[in-house]
Structures are given as C-alpha cells and as structure tokens.
Amino acid sequence: MPAQVTYQRLLGADQEPQNWLTYSGRYSGWRYSALNQINTGNASRLAMQWTFQVADLGQFETTPLVVDGVLYGTGQNDRAFALDARTGRAIWRYQRNLPDKLQPCCGMVNRGFAILGNKLFMATLDAHLIALDTRTGNLLWDVKAADSNAAYAFTVAPLVVKNEVIVGISGGEYGVRGFVDAYDADTGRRRWRFETVPGPGQPGHETWAGDSWKTGGAPAWVTGSYDPELNLVYWPTGNPSPSGYGGARGGDNLYSNSMLALDADSGKLKWYFQFTPHDLYDYDATQVPVLLDEEWNGRPRKLLLQANRNGFFYVLDRSNGKFLQASAFGKVTWATGISPDGRPLLNSNLVPSPEGNRVCPGALGLTNWFSPSYSPDTRLFYVATSDECDIFTSAPQTYREGHDFLGSVYVPDPIARPTGALKALDPSTGAEKWEFKYFSNPNGGALSTAGELVFAGDSDGNFIALDARTGRDLWNMQLGAAIYSTAITYQLDGKQYVIIPAGSALFAFALADQP
C-alpha cells in the first residue's frame, strides 16, 4: 500500500518532486518542479510513453495528482480514474451519476482532485463534495454544498489544508451567490462558509444596489493558494452577475473579482483586494495566486503575484493586502492604468452599450483560469495570454433561477483574429522578458522545471517545451486536439515523466532511451 499523504507531506510538497501532491504542486501556487532529468540539453529527445483515454467528450481540464507510483485524475462529466503512473494502466474508474439538465456555463469539466490520507476529494458538477478511497475509487462520503437546480456547480480542484477540504463554487453566469467552503476531511461536515457576496448587516453589503446582492455572482471556481506561516488561504473570486450589465447593481460589488485572504481555521476574512470593481467585462479574478518571499524596495516582504484576467499583473503584500504594483502585460483598453491605491483608471468611453463597444482584453481575458508558473531558477513568472478584443454589448435582464444571467453578449472583434502567447514576466517590474507566440489564443497554462524548461500547450493541440530563459521552442508534438489544461511532472524508477491532457486523453512523455 502506498504511504498515506499526510498534511506534513502537503506542507513539504516541494521536498518530494517525484510526486505531484496538490493542484499547483505546492501551496505557494508555483506549478514548478525541482526535477531536471529533462532539461534544455535533451528536451529534443522527449518521446511518448503511454496514453490514457477518458473516452468522453468535452474539455479535459484536469490536473492529475501523482502519489507514490499512482496517478489520480478527474475527467469530463465527473469521471475519475487511478492509473499505474509507469504504464498508464487503469487501476479503477469512477463516474458520478449526475442529474439531467445540468448546464454549467463552460462545459462539463472538472479540474482535479485533492488528496489527504487515503481519501481523494472531488467537487462535482451537481454542487456536491465527495470523498473517494484512493485504493478502490469507492465513495466514502458525499455532501451537498448547494442547489444545482439554481445552477450552482463545482468545477474546481479542492485544496486540502490541515484536516479540511476547501472548495469554491461556480455559477457566475447564472446569478448564484458565491461562496468558499471548508469541509472536515474525515466526515464531510462543513466547517465554515465565506459568502463572497455579503448579506444584509455584513460589511460590504452596501456595495450592492437594492436586492442585486441576492444574485450577485462572485463565484470562486479556481483553486487558491495557502501560506502556512500566516495560516491564510488566498482564494480568488469571479465576476459579479449579470456580468455585462451593471445598471441594476450599482456599487463596487464586493467581493467580486477579488483576492480573499481567509483564516484557514475559521474562514474569517483577514483582508481583500478587489482588482476590477463594478466589472462590466467578465474579468473574473480567478487566476491562481502565486506566493513569493522576496525583497521589495529593499526589505523582505511576503508577496502575492497575480496575472489577472483584466490584463494587469499585480503585486500585493500578502500579509495585509496592500497594493504594491500593477502593470499591463498585453493590450488593455478598458482602463488606462492602475492608480496608486490599486483602483483601475477607467476608460469611460468603453462601457458596454446596446450597440457594442470594442474592448481589450476580450471577455475571456488577457489570461484566464489556466495556471501560471514561477521558477526560482530563472526568477521569472510564466503566463499564457490571449490577444483578443471583443465587442461588448449590454442589455438589462430579469433573473430567473437556473437560467443564463449575463446581461450582454460579447463577440470577437471581426477585424483581428485572436492569437496568443506564452509570456515570461519579471515579477519585480512586471516587464516582459520574452514571449512565444501561439497561432490561436490558448486554454492551457505553464509548468516550469529545474531543467530550465517551460511546458505549455496550445489550442491547436501542440504540446511544447520552451527554454525557460529565452522562450525558444526546443520540442513540440501535435496531440490532435486542443489542450485545456496545464502539465505536471513526476519521477518514478529514475525516469522523469511529463503529463498533459489533450482532447480526451492523458499523454505521458519522458526522454527516449539512448540507442
């Protein structure tokens, strides 16, 4: 039997690079691996080792976990599986019996498991949290978090902290009222809930006109990061609802499009920072926060980095939420910059109108939910970007439970074809160090490694190894379908593997044996 995954192991995940124990590989959200068997000198020898077919349709967005020789992944329609990580052979498969008529906005997707002890935790499309046995895939407990008839859904990979499982809800396109929850890992009992839209009497409630808070959105659908020293969970939130029409929700609409710093034990809000107040462009702040301890203006500081969907790269002090710096990392027109207090300086000509206004970045953002990466070797921050502007239109809409609540539609600018890039930013200045251009805008993020490589995938099915210092492409392979996820890596029996989901399959790569 594999050793149990204890909280101590999760805390020290960076000390066991042969495994991949959490969504981002470690609590700091780096998606970086200290493995270096595959490196800039030999990446051209990468060769496929095995493939695993989920055999289902839709976007395959999982980040698998790998523990002591076993790979655990989730798939479309809440499928799940455990594989022999050497060979890709299935040990067990699971599929949740989902109700009909689920309509999550952006596909029947799931982004992965969290693990603790012999339990795997999966947040499901019908808004339940379940625990499966690592050895058999058997269901151990199942708790309902919210009502899927009202379009509450989970797509997020949970985060385990101590003995609790933290999840955030999806449904910002349907006027849900968002939350971040923590559940007891043993029993599934809910420990705390943080409502991302404050109710009457709670601070922040005044930032919502009338009853708009009831359908205010602010979902929390991407996995946060954790600082054990401060005992704070950093969890990002998404758009206010309806995303494209703000007429009925006057105010800043807290805590939409924010970074929340929550006490891991109580769920109490320590601080927040709102990136896009009163958003009209669907600029969810649901990008993985990257935690970094670094000198800032001559003194050591606990930083939080985020390349935000709104087009700005932010540096915050994560001990108190203080805004330190922001700079655009691509084409941005909705705001002319960020003021010294962190608020965007709006371009008031570009609010969505009934006829439509062309705004950059488009509704899917300059980047999106797919993971960024930070490498301590190159000291660079890697982020996949979309070069797309959209025509944003706007119209009032009446809320109806379980139905689209968008207030608008956006269509891609018909003049310029969307493209994208993988960019390397210097976190101390936000300056771009290099970019590798994609033909289409990407839906996959970045993994960096001590081999000084960045692994990335594009929407045209290419899996690519780049030189982490220069952005030069060293190797690529066509996998036959769009990549909607981000790579991970692990090592077994002396061999480093890199895993990427594409289409409906997992692909495993390693160095070809020397002839």
Q: What is the edge-to-edge ordering of all strands in the sheet holding 232-236?
A: 225-227, 232-236, 258-263, 269-274
Q: For residue 106, state whether it binds other proteins (rule: CB under 8 A).
A: yes
Site string for other proteins, 237-256 (x = CB under 8 A): --------------------
- Tokens 């992965």 identify what position? 112
Residue type, 305: L
Closest CB to other proteins among 132 and 363? 363
Number of residues that bind other proteins (CB under 8 A): 43
The piece of 67-75, 84-92, 227-235, 397-405 that touches other proteins (CB under 8 A) is: 397-405
Nearest approach, Cβ of residue 168 and other proteins (Å):
21
Active site includes 211? no
- Inter-residue contact 234 to 318 (CB < 8 Å): yes
Binders of other proteins among residues 322 to 361 (CB under 8 A) are 356
Nearest approach, Cβ of residue 501 and other proteins (Å):
16
Burial-class residue 9 by CB neighbours within 10 Å (0-12, 13-18, 19+). middle
Catalytic residue among 78, 181, 282, 284: 282
Closest CB to other proteins among 137 and 418? 418
Both tokens of 414, joined, read: 């018909």
CA–CA dist 424, 247 (Å, integer): 38
In 3D space, the residue among 24, 109, 158, 9 whose CA is nearest the CA of residue 489 turns out to be 24
Closest CB to other proteins among 106 and 140? 106
Both tokens of 464, joined, read: 């690519």
In 3D space, the residue among 32, 228, 2, 262 whose CA is nearest the CA of residue 133 turns out to be 2
Q: For residue 395, state whether it binds other proteins (rule: CB under 8 A).
A: yes
Selected binder of other proteins within 9, 42, 68, 107 (CB under 8 A)? 107
Selected binder of other proteins within 470, 476, 492, 495 (CB under 8 A)? 476
Q: For residue 504, state whether it binds other proteins (rule: CB under 8 A).
A: no
Tell me the pairing of strands 390-392 and 380-387: unpaired
Both tokens of 442, joined, read: 């990407």
Binders of other proteins among residues 406 to 465 (CB under 8 A) are 406, 408-412, 414-418, 437-441, 443, 458-462, 464
Reply yes or no: is the peptide bond before residue 255 cis, omega within 30 of 0. Answer: yes
Check residue 342 and give left, alpha or beta (phi > 0: left; psi -120 to 50: alpha). left
Nearest approach, Cβ of residue 62 and other proteins (Å):
18
When computed from its CA atoms, the radius of gyration of the chain, rounded to whole angstroms, is: 21
Which positions are annotated as active-site residues? 282
| Sites of contact with other proteins (CB under 8 A) | 59, 101, 103, 105-107, 356, 363-364, 391, 393, 395-398, 403-404, 406, 408-412, 414-418, 437-441, 443, 458-462, 464, 476, 478, 482
